[in-house]
Amino acid sequence: MIQATAVPGEVLAAELGALVRDWGLREVRPRVRQLEEQGDFPRELYAQMGEMGLFGCVFPERLGGNGAGFRALAKVAENLAWVYPPLSAPMNLQAATVPLTIANWGGPELVERYVPGLVTAELLGCNAMTEPDGGSDFLGAMRTRAVRDGDDYVINGAKMWITNANVADVAVVYAKTDPAAGHKGVTAFLVETSTPGFQTTRVPCRVLGKLMPTNSVTLTDVRVPASHVLGAEGQGFAVAMNAMDYGRLSVAARSVGLAQACLDAALEYADQRVAFGQKIGEFQMVKKQLADMTVEVAAARALVDAAAAGYDSGTVATRESSIAKYYAGEVCNRAAQACAEIFGGAAFSDELPVSIYLNYAKLWQTGEGSANIQAVLIADDALGWKDMDRHRTPLPVMV
């Protein structure tokens, strides 16, 4: 495992990024078609990533991490997405959203019991926030209920589009404990998926391949100890906003990595493919596409790095992570579209990853806050109507 002690953060981030690329070129890209055809969850790859320390960037050694920081986390997420988009999902679930939510809001016993296992991938996590009627309005439309019963809470309800729920060991679950209190009536719970009444059903998503499973979750009389409340009862909104800050940084970095993969593939193809007696890279329209992709990817990467640097300075960078997520998502979609246009009909071949790039670009434009929602938040903040940092919470000392 790489240690952060004697190496500046920026240098270590670059070294971790290079480590990911080397590993991905050696262990993943040659096996992608085989892995997709088999369709099994790539648990051994998760274990390798955990062993390399990729999920521990923002955690201290005592919790299984390496203390490399958020810039390193972003660089790892970027390069995992460059290797193959589905394999960057754990940079939310194993490195940010789930373990940081536990670290920030869980009691000491929960932190010690679950965070090290998530960071090393001995445990797998999922974030059960969205509901069938929810989406961006997951709080207003939330129907999942939790009722106090002695020393426990009993949870009933359903969640939808929950990545890795079918293989997870633990889940962060949001439920209404006081339906009449609006967003102040939401509570977050840490739930072991082996608990009776916790059931998952795989949702087929052919366009996303088979290596990042998404699921529906049904909770029927799921009994959770009161000690597994994250934060306090009624504090779930703050917990969720805090989790989404981290998630947006990770998704933004992953979008940059995917956009870079699109650019690299397009550059290689434009330098090889011959049409009308010349390489297609000679055509001015193709040059313009390649130039725009190059500039926009660099700009998106700079925004992600600035947001990550804010986290490393000890501040939860809500505004910065939202801006980075919004712009990186737009850039990623434009890059994927341009890549497909440059490849032409070949973009739809299973021999090439271009169609996967297209589909994941659109997915990440929506996940952790859709593009439209981000645009509204950014505009309201710019107008001075709603401060994007109004829900900001301090980072814990351990991070």
Burial class (CB in 10 A: 0-12, 13-18, 19+), 283: middle
Take residue 136 and report the two structure tokens written for it. 């961006």
The class that CATH gives domain 125-234 is mainly beta
Integer angstrom CA distances of residue 377 from 155, 318, 372:
32, 11, 9
* Beta-ladder partners of 226: none
Q: Compute the distance between CA of residue 52 and CA of residue 366 in angstroms, rounded to an integer.
A: 30
Q: Compute the distance between CA of residue 159 and CA of residue 171 in angstroms, rounded to an integer.
A: 11
Residue bearing tokens 């501040």? 315
Integer angstrom CA distances of residue 172 from 55, 79, 108, 127, 164:
18, 26, 16, 5, 12
Q: Write phi, then psi, for 186 (nearest 5 degrees).
A: -95, 140
| Residue at 220: amino acid letter | T
Residue of 131, 296, 320, 368 marked catalytic? 368
- The whole-angstrom distance between residue 369's C-alpha and the CA centroid of its chain comes to 11
CATH 1.10.540.10 domain locations along the chain: 9-120
Burial class (CB in 10 A: 0-12, 13-18, 19+), 233: middle
pLDDT at 392: 64
The CATH superfamily holding the domain 9-120 is: Acyl-CoA dehydrogenase/oxidase, N-terminal domain (1.10.540.10)
Q: Write phi, then psi, for 217 (nearest 5 degrees).
A: -125, 130
pLDDT at 8: 54
pLDDT digits (tens, 9 = 90+) for 95-128: 999 999 999 999 999 999 999 999 999 999 999 9
pLDDT at 361: 96
368 in active site: yes
Q: Write phi, then psi, for 229 (nearest 5 degrees).
A: -70, 135
Domain 238-383, what architecture? Up-down Bundle (1.20)
Which residues fall within 8 angstroms of residue 3, CB to CB, at 6 or more apart?
61, 66, 67
Q: Compute the distance between CA of residue 322 and CA of residue 327 in angstroms, rounded to an integer.
A: 9
Task: Please give the model's pTM, rounded to 2 decimal places.
Answer: 0.93
pLDDT digits (tens, 9 = 90+) for 48-79: 999 999 999 999 999 999 999 999 999 999 99
Q: Compute the distance between CA of residue 323 and CA of residue 260 in angstroms, rounded to an integer.
A: 19
User: What b-and-e string marks burial along 305-317, b requiring 16 or more CB atoms within 10 Å of the CB?
Assistant: bebbbbbbeeebb
pLDDT at 171: 98
Take residue 364 and report the two structure tokens written for it. 């990440």
Write out 7-73 in H/E/C secondary structure. CCHHHHHHHHHHHHHHHHHHHHHHHHHHHHHHCCCCHHHHHHHHHCCCCCCCCCHHHCCCCCCHHHH
First to last CA, the chain: 18
pLDDT at 367: 82
Pairing type for strands 198-202 and 274-275 reads unpaired
Cα–Cα nearest to 92, from 58, 116, 131? 58
Take residue 24 and report the two structure tokens written for it. 């991905």
pLDDT at 393: 59
Q: Compute the distance between CA of residue 221 and CA of residue 223 in angstroms, rounded to an integer.
A: 6
Q: Are 345 and 243 in contact (CB under 8 A)?
A: no
Low pLDDT (below 50) residues in the chain: 1-7, 396-399
Q: Are 354 and 347 in contact (CB under 8 A)?
A: yes
Helix (H, G, I), strand (E, B) or coil at 222: strand
CATH 2.40.110.10 domain locations along the chain: 125-234
